[in-house]
Every structure is written in C-alpha cells, then in structure tokens.
Amino acid sequence: MTDSAVTAFAPWLFGGAFIPGLIVTILVAYLFGSIPFGLLLTRAAGLGDIRSIGSGNIGATNVLRTGNKGLAAGTLLLDAGKAAVAVLVARTFLAEPNIAIGGSAALPLYLAAIAAFVGHCFPVWLNFKGGKGVAVMIGSLLALSWPIALIFCAVWLLIAFTRKMSSLAALTAAATAPIFSYVVVDEWLAATTAVLALLLYYQHRTNIVRLMRGTEAKIGPEKKAS
C-alpha cells in the first residue's frame, strides 16, 4: 500500500465522517471481542464456571484443563473467529472494503483488531476480567494478513510441542510476530502486531513470573489430588 492517506468510511455511516466512523468501528470490534465463548461453552456443557478452574481465565487453554478437548477446540475456533469477524465487519464500514493491508489507509482495520483483543481481555460483562488473547491474536492476524497468522501458529506449535507450555509458546510467537509483520508487510502492520503482543504479554504477566520460577503448568487436563 503506497497511499499514505487514511481511507474514508462508507457514505451510509455518518456520511463518511472519519471520527464517528472510527468510534463505531472500535465499539463494534470491542463488542465482538468481548463475547466470552469459553465461559458460555463450559456452562452449556454443565461444567460450571471456567473461572474457578486452573488459571481462572476464559480461554481455550484453561478450558482444556477441564479435560474436554472438544470444548477447548470450540473455544479456540470461536475466539479466533470473533476477532476475524470483527476485522471483516470493520471492512464493510469502509468506502473501499477491499482495501489492502499496509500503510495508514488500513488504520480502521488495525484499530478494529486491537479493539477486539481488548474486548476479549477486558470484557465489560465480566468485570473486565477475560482471556489472555492468544486465539484472538491469531484470528486478528488471519483477517489482516494470513501469512503472519500461519507463522504465528507455526511458532506456537513448535514451542508447545517441544516444551509443553502454552504460555511460553504464546509469548514466543507474539514476540516474533511484529518482526515477521515488518518483513512480510510493512511497519504499520508491525506496529499493530506489536501492540497486540504487548497486551498479550501483560495478560501473561503471572505466567512470566511462574516461567522464571520454573512452576508454570504444562498443557493438558488439570491433575486432581489423589
């Protein structure tokens, strides 16, 4: 993308006015991101409140600690999906929905990705205590630049299978994502990915402490006391 101008919104959205359109974009993306699929699925399955299990967060890794792999997979897909949908819906608000990623013209899409991430991590419905954002980051990257999403997943899988720690895998993938974003796309996507990575690191702050202490939990169902 060589055009440095920020793209305009569709005429039907406040006459194409930029600031109102941007506010609507961010709000809608936040609401999509704030849907607590992990909590909804575990409750529907009769497993109670996922926040009382393991790490207490509503993400797929903690759902896996219930021992239900299907629910964990469903949570992963739905959390990634809601972020991707948030970015795709944001496209429909633009005067040029097919605008390419790269440069400042796609700013509303970058902000939609960030807003969906914030909604997942700090949902208003759950007193701003949500998930840690790994699946949401994957979904956002899929909608923005699928090659970066695939690289993120490859790094995550490599570390997860070799070290058996979801948090370490997520932290490593997030740390490398801005670099690959810069190389493959440009500095605008790299900056967006860096913001997502910083938020992900903040959400994993307790995991980082446990990693340093060597007490971080492994991937898999939570062990019950005998």
pLDDT digits (tens, 9 = 90+) for 172-217: 999 999 999 999 999 999 999 999 999 999 999 999 999 999 998 7
Q: Tokens 């006391």 sit at which residue?
A: 225
| Average of per-residue pLDDT across 77-104 | 95
Q: Residue 70: pLDDT above 80? A: yes
Q: Residue 150: pLDDT above 90? A: yes
Q: Residue 144: pLDDT above 60? A: yes
Cα dihedral across residues 102, 103, 107, 113: positive or negative: positive
Q: Does the residue 49 lie in any domain?
A: yes
Higher confidence at residue 153 or residue 223? 153
Q: Does the residue 225 lie in any domain?
A: no
Q: Are 119 and 140 in contact, with CB atoms under 8 Å apart?
A: no
Q: Does the residue 74 lie in any domain?
A: yes
| Average of per-residue pLDDT across 54-66 | 83
Band (pLDDT 50/70/90 cuts) for residue 164 is: confident
Q: Residue 5: pLDDT above 80? A: no
Q: Does the residue 221 lie in any domain?
A: no
What share of the chain in percent tops pLDDT 90?
75
- Count of domains observed in the chain: 1
DSSP three-state, residue 187: helix
**Tokens found for residue 106:** 């796609």
Question: What's the mean pLDDT when you consider all of the chain?
Answer: 91
Determine phi and psi for 146, rounding to 5 degrees.
-60, -30
Partnered with residue 94 across adjacent β-strands are 9
Q: Residue 69: pLDDT above 50? A: yes
The tally of CA atoms less than 13 A away on the side-chain side of residue 215 is 5
Q: Does the residue 103 lie in any domain?
A: yes
- Give me the pLDDT at residue 7, please: 67
pLDDT digits (tens, 9 = 90+) for 42-52: 999 888 888 88
Q: Residue 2: pLDDT above 60? A: no
**Tokens found for residue 219:** 């991937």
Q: Output the pTM of the full model.
A: 0.91
Rounded to an integer, what distance in angstroms lies between the CA atom of residue 115 and that of residue 25?
9
97-101 long-range CB contacts below 8 Å, 24 or more apart? Answer: 99/1, 99/7, 100/1, 101/1, 101/144, 101/145, 101/185, 101/189
The tally of CA atoms less than 13 A away on the side-chain side of residue 212 is 6
- Give me the pLDDT at residue 1, please: 39
Band (pLDDT 50/70/90 cuts) for residue 142 is: very high
Band (pLDDT 50/70/90 cuts) for residue 66 is: confident
Higher confidence at residue 164 or residue 190? 190
Cα distances from 30 to residues 58, 77, 104, 135, 172, in angstroms, run: 16, 18, 21, 15, 25
Neighbours of 146 (CB within 10 A): 11
| Average of per-residue pLDDT across 163-175 | 94
Rounded to an integer, what distance in angstroms lies between the CA atom of residue 88 and that of residue 107?
13
Q: Does the residue 157 lie in any domain?
A: yes
Q: Residue 30: pLDDT above 80? A: yes
Q: Are 46 and 130 in contact, with CB atoms under 8 Å apart?
A: no
pLDDT digits (tens, 9 = 90+) for 108-119: 999 999 999 999
Q: Residue 64: pLDDT above 90? A: no
- Closest alpha carbon to 107 in 178, 198, 19: 19
Which structural domain, as residue segments, surrounds residue 137?
14-213
